[in-house]
Amino acid sequence: MAEKITKNMIITDVLKMDMNTIPIFTKHGLHCLGCPASEVESIEEAGFVHGVDVDALIEELNQYFAQKRQT
């Protein structure tokens, strides 16, 4: 995976890339990862609705994928 995770990405697209990101989403307050909205909402939209610090979430997701690439 060469691309970085962005606020505009759809939640389920990130989950399809790696289901091990679930704990990162839930840690940051996005718990409804199986709901229909997660298939059409961007990370930014979901973060706004749930009061999530999207920048911190994106940073942790990108750290996770960067570490995964190194192994």
How is the chain split into domains, by residue range? Answer: 11-70
Using DSSP's 3-state secondary structure scheme, residue 16 falls into helix
Q: Which of 71 and 22 is assigned the larger pLDDT?
A: 22
Residues recorded for the chain:
71
The pLDDT tens digits of the residues spanning 2-53 come to 579 999 999 999 999 999 999 999 999 998 888 888 899 999 999 999 999 9
50-53 long-range contacts (CB < 8 A, ≥24 apart) are: 52/28, 53/28
CATH class of residue range 11-70 = mainly alpha
pLDDT > 70? residue 1: no
Give the model's pLDDT for residue 43: 96
Give the model's pLDDT for residue 2: 53
Angle at 62 between CA 55 and CA 27, to 5 degrees: 60
Cross-strand bridge partners of residue 10: 42
